[in-house]
A and B are shown apart, each in its own frame.
Chain A
Amino acid sequence: MSTNAESAAGRVPPAVLFDGVHLPRPGDAAPLEDLSFAVAAGSVHMIAGPPGAGKTAIVELILGALRPARGRIELFARDAAHLRRRDWPLVRRRIGTIFQDLRLLDRLSAFDNVAMIPRIAGRRPGDYRDEVLEVLAWVGLGRSPAAPAGALNLRDRRRLALARAVIGRPDLVIADEPTGGLDQPASLSLLRRLADLNRAGTTLIVATADEEMAEGLGAPVLWLDGGRERRGGAVPRAGAA
């Protein structure tokens, strides 16, 4: 995995920037406190920590599903707090997300699950059919485009979620626990595809509870524990990018 040198040098604004972000969370979950980090465009960043540490909350903050109580979030050099209601769809279309719970439409075919993204973007079926089939082939589902998502095994469901995340050629892909429940060969296969994406210039944020994987990728890691940054240094602080 590589880091975009131009971005790191500060000439390109970070894809994502958190600056002193505070987010209260419901129930017993500890609030996210004073989180500051920057994800340079074209880079790979890991968010690691045990379950409940706040990884998914960060993903939801980036997607605009949650709003911070304090602090500033920038997405593609735009202050999220100042994004108007009609701006959010366009920002979100620049982000491809593999959700922790995948959120596949089980009743629909693999093809239709992936086609959902170009449909949202307003593209006509004739324009995206070949592209969807290509992406399904790229993730290894080229032979089962008609299979209902609910009938696929976990490995193929994760592949399908990856296909859906990348079909829109997003600038940023967020993968929340992308290898959860997969054996090592399947995990490696999926990570290899994520690496391919990054080589093509896509920024990657990978959230994982697997500390070994977080450290093993050699990318900057934001370590979270109980909503706080546990130890850092590898991740550029806000303003450093």
Chain B
Amino acid sequence: MTFEATRRRPASLLPDRARPGMAASLGVGVAAFCLAILAIAGIAVEGAARDLAARAGGAATVVVWGAGLESPDAAAARAADILGHARGVAAARPLDPAPADIPLARVIAGARASDPRLITLVARPGATLDGAALARTLRGAGVAAAADDHRFSTSPLTRAAAVAATAAAAAILLASILAMAAMGVGARRALGEAREVTRLLTLSGATDRFVARQFRPRLVRAAALAAAAGAGIAALAGAAVLLAGRASGAALPLGLKPPWRDLWAAAPWPPLFATVALAVGGATLAAALKKAR
């Protein structure tokens, strides 16, 4: 076999054992798993809350009652006609009177509606109905009315989703710190295993940057692989949870589709961790090499 110098890529100058090690990989993998699962859960919760709020905001209930000489049925017919032309409203339909209307009307309109009539409104796609504005429109036309745009019931939901998203962001920050610490430990371990070679390189005229550059591919590779493993397991766990939810029928009655796209939240972590490894590993190596002189 002849030696083909022109075809050869420069070999790594570091010994094989100069790698971040299992502990660092495990730390990065666990951090990536936590980050990915939190991101998936955070995005899913926030998305579900937004979806529910949008669905609730896409409909409204208006209560009208008779005033002066106008009967409740006439008031309801006139209100449906007016609201049918209101901005953002796709359809306004007066409902047949039912015994259950009384307590519902009292929740919306108070004691004023002694003989209430209900009108349901459906918003145009993408539009949100504003109860107060609708009621003002009717009152301006001389119809005694009150409206419920479901905001009262959806606002706690959106608040809870915001709290969950903030908690997930804080946990993501903590997991990121864990990942950075793991990469720092890994970089120090790799450097420790290559002490003799780094000393040889230094005495041969290598700059700290050159020495640090020898470690980079290994740090990046180890971090990316560990993060891919952690994020992959998180994506599988997320998929299992979605499938379980679908099977138990929790999502379907609410009309919610399993948010498979949320699993993509696991995807950014391997390249992100590789970048973190580059930055943290480089800084750790630079500090350690400086101290070693």
Flag whether A108 is at the interface (Cβ < 8 A).
Answer: yes
Closest CB in chain A relative to B202 CB, distance in Å:
8
Residue on A nearest B201 in the bound complex, by CB: A120
Query: Considering the chains assembled together, what is the distance between the CA atoms of A132 and B15 in angstroms?
Result: 22
Number of A positions contacting B (CB below 8 A): 35
Query: Considering the chains assembled together, what is the distance between the CA atoms of A116 and B16 in angstroms?
Result: 17
Stretch at the interface among B4-12, B37-45, B106-114: B4-12
Query: Considering the chains assembled together, what is the distance between the CA atoms of A37 and B260 in angstroms?
Result: 77
Say whether A92 contacts B204, CB under 8 Å: yes
With A85-B293, A107-B15, A107-B16 already in contact, the answer to whether A116 and B204 are too (CB < 8 A) is yes
Selected from B197, B203, B210, the residue in CB contact (under 8 A) with A97 is B203
Query: Considering the chains assembled together, what is the distance between the CA atoms of A63 and B203 in angstroms?
Result: 6
Say whether A120 contacts B196, CB under 8 Å: no
With A85-B293, A145-B5 already in contact, the answer to whether A105 and B197 are too (CB < 8 A) is yes
Flag whether B3 is at the interface (Cβ < 8 A).
Answer: yes
The 10 closest A-B pairs by CB, nearest first: A93-B205, A92-B205, A146-B3, A120-B206, A112-B11, A129-B5, A89-B205, A89-B207, A145-B3, A103-B200
With A111-B5, A145-B5 already in contact, the answer to whether A105 and B13 are too (CB < 8 A) is yes
Q: CB-CB < 8 A to B207: which residues of A?
A: 86, 89
Q: CB-CB < 8 A to B15: which residues of A?
A: 107
* Centre residue among B13, B201, B210, B293 by max chain A CB count within 10 A: B13
With A133-B5, A145-B3 already in contact, the answer to whether A108 and B204 are too (CB < 8 A) is no
> Which residues of chain B have a CB within 8 Å of any CB of chain A?
1, 3, 5-6, 8-11, 13, 15-16, 196-197, 199-207, 210, 290, 293
12 of the cross-chain contacts (CB-CB < 8 Å) are: A64-B203, A65-B203, A85-B290, A86-B207, A92-B202, A92-B203, A103-B196, A105-B200, A112-B11, A115-B10, A120-B201, A129-B5
Q: CB-CB < 8 A to B3: which residues of A?
A: 111, 145-146
Query: Considering the chains assembled together, what is the distance between the CA atoms of A92 and B8 in angstroms?
Result: 27
Selected from B1, B11, B204, the residue in CB contact (under 8 A) with A117 is B204
